[in-house]
Amino acid sequence: MYIVLNKDRMVIEKEQDVVPYRNRVKEFAVKIGMSLVNQTKLITAASELVRNMLKYANGGVTTIEVISKGRENGIRLVFADKGPGIADLNLAMKDGFSTGKSLGLGLPGAKRLSSEFDIQSTVGKGTTVTIIKWKNG
Amino acid sequence: MAFKKGHLFISIFVSRLRRGKDLLSGIFWGHPYSFTSASVVSLTSTASFHGTFKVVILVIKSLLPPAFRIENRGEINNYLYFYLVYIYRVLYVLKYPYIIIMKFEIAKSLQKKKKQILEAWVQNQLKDESLREDLMSNDELRKESEELLDSLLQSINNKNISDTDSAEFDSLNEIISGISITRARQGFSPKETGSYIFSLREALIETLHKDFKGDPIELLSSTIQIVKLVDNLAVVTFETFIKGREEVILRQTNEITEISTPVIRVWDGILALPIIGTLDSSRTQVVMENLLVEIVESGSSIAILDISGVPAVDSLVAQHLIKTVSATRLMGAECIISGIRPEIAQTVVHLGIDLSNIVTKATLASALRYAFTLLKLEVKKTTKSEL
């Protein structure tokens, strides 16, 4: 269904990796000609998810892909960690719920900021979040 | 005891043949040296006089013909084959009697030949094209090499030779780290420091080569040990080098954080704090401290946080901003956030961050104007006649 045009992989281990990662996502977004607003939305969502990964799972692996569906181009980001997993996904996706003293807007905010959002989590094994942001979406 | 072990080997060897194992591995098992060295292992820990005595017994015993029973006619060939191997072993031991005692002397034979190794090592370095005579004189080089070699030879024994993490190597690792750091400061590249350690490997192997001339198997195994040892040492130099660099980077990061959060007095009673870059927890801490201290010192009642230079506002950054604003309000001052770009405004709304309790402005100028109205100040354009 989706054709992957370009792919990159980055390992996130420490807080200092967040900014380079965001810059890399931005490079990809600029390359496909995404508008500034959508770029910012994508980068913010990416930033939220990367921070989650660092905070709750001590890091993980992220993939940045340029994908295309029909005429539309977009960026797909995959965040895979081997952390403790999320016990209740519905609760985690609720605004203002946080187990870690933050605003509790990371996951739901990232969902609102991206065009497509998917989260898979197994307790004890880890969490994988996939988001897609279409160029004009 | 040792001889019984030898018997065990022989019986293993024969049963391997019986079970149809290939002859090559059989030859390996029956190799005269692997037989003797396996028996000698049990001797390594005994006292030297006692050990010498045992070795003599062992030499005599290893020359005795092997004893094992032949159960049927088919095994005659095996016996003949083994007998050939036995003769070969006798000849081998007679030719190179020292191979039996060589096993526990890798470390010792190196320790004895310290001068030789040092000479070879220094020669290796002098021959090397990457020698930096501009950075270090040959005398210094020799002195440094000698110190390192001394410590190395003191640390090694047969057990720890390929395990540089053991406690015996602590002082050596310290010396190597020291050399690596001083060399990095003097301007050596990590490659040059690395090849300095690597050239030691050649010197050590050359020395071993002379000792183990007649025994390729033992030479190979001790060469592998030496290679491992020196590789581990070289890795220590690289690690130290990288650690040094990381420290520099960390220090610079801290300095940048300090520098990049200036608090400016734009007007009497109005402070501005332009934030450039990402806001993380440690940075927020610095920003907040500087701001609060400055509010007290200047007696200001309005602080403007300008986030034009912050590339992305996610929930963490927003949380930090909200904390800073709350802290300022506790000090009795009003805090305005300015420099919110259109795309950031949209993102913040989508994220669901509630900033409605905070006064926000698009530009620093409008924030300043707002501050003036709060302080009941007025900025007027003067006409020429008044000047």
Q: How confident is the model at residue B178, as a pLDDT?
A: 85
Nearest CA in chain A to B253: A16
Who wins on pLDDT, B43 or B122? B122
- Chain B contact set for A108 (CB, 8 A): 352
Domains identified in chain A, total number: 1
What whole-number distance in Å separates Cα of residue A127 and Cα of residue A113?
A: 19
pLDDT at position B29: 42
Longest Cα–Cα distance of chain A, Å, equals 42
Name residue B272's beta-bridge partners: B264, B304
pLDDT on residue B41: 40
- How do residues B206-227 score in pLDDT, each as one tens digit? 887 777 776 777 778 778 888 8
User: With 80 as the cut, is the pLDDT of residue B131 above it?
Assistant: no
Q: Over 60: is that where the pLDDT of A10 sits?
A: yes
Looking at the predicted structure, is the pLDDT value of residue B136 above 50? yes
Within an 8 Å CB–CB cutoff, is residue A88 touching chain B?
A: no
What 3-state class would DSSP assign to A11?
strand
- Quote the domain boundaries for residue A43: 3-134
pLDDT at B45: 37
Residue A100 is part of a domain; what is its CATH number?
Answer: 3.30.565.10
Stronger pLDDT, B186 or B295, i.e. the higher one: B295
Stretch 41-70 of chain A: residues touching chain B, C-beta under 8 Å: 41, 43-44, 47-48, 51
Contact criterion met (CB below 8 Å) for B134 and B121: no
Distance set, CA B379 to CA B3, B299, B382 (Å): 106, 22, 9
Q: Do A51 and B316 touch (CB under 8 A)?
A: yes
Assign B11 a pLDDT band (cuts: 50, 70, 90).
low
CA distance B353 to chain A (A): 7
Q: For residue range A102-111, what is the model confidence (pLDDT) as tens digits?
A: 888 888 889 9
Mean pLDDT, chain B, rounded, equals: 75
The residue in chain A having the minimum alpha-carbon distance to the alpha carbon of residue B249 is A16
User: Do B347 and A106 count as a contact with CB atoms less than 8 A apart?
Assistant: no
Q: Does A36 touch chain B (CB under 8 A)?
A: yes
Nearest to B315 among A19, A36, A48 (CB): A48
pLDDT at B366: 93
pLDDT at B47: 40
Q: Which residue ranges form the domains of chain B, and what is each CATH number?
A: 2-97 (no CATH), 106-254 (1.10.490.10), 264-374 (3.30.750.24)
Please judge whether B351 and A105 are an interchain contact, meaning their C-beta atoms are less than 8 angstroms apart. Answer: yes
Calculate how close chain B gets to A48, using CA atoms only, in Å.
6
pLDDT digits (tens, 9 = 90+) for B182-203: 887 777 888 888 888 888 888 8
A115 touches chain B (CB under 8 A): no
Cβ-Cβ contacts under 8 Å, A92 against chain B:
none
User: What is the reported pLDDT for B35?
Assistant: 42
Whether A81 has its CB under 8 Å from any CB of chain B: the answer is no
Q: CB-CB: which of A16, A22, A95 is closest to B352?
A: A95
Is A113 in contact with B350 (Cβ distance < 8 A)?
yes
* Chain A, chain B: beta-carbon pairs less than 8 Å apart: 64
* From A32-46, B207-221, B259-273, the region with the lowest mean pLDDT: B207-221
Torsion of CA A101, A104, A107, A112, to 10 degrees: -160
**What's residue B84's pLDDT?**
78
Q: Are strands B359-360 and A116-122 parallel, antiparallel or unpaired?
A: unpaired
DSSP collapsed to 3 states, B165-227: CCHHHHHHHHHHHHHHHHHHHHCCCHHHHHHHHHHHHHHHHHHHHHHCCCCHHHHHHHHHHHH
Mean pLDDT of chain A: 89
The residue-averaged pLDDT of B101-114 equals 68
Q: Nearest CA to A121 among A85, A80, A83?
A: A85
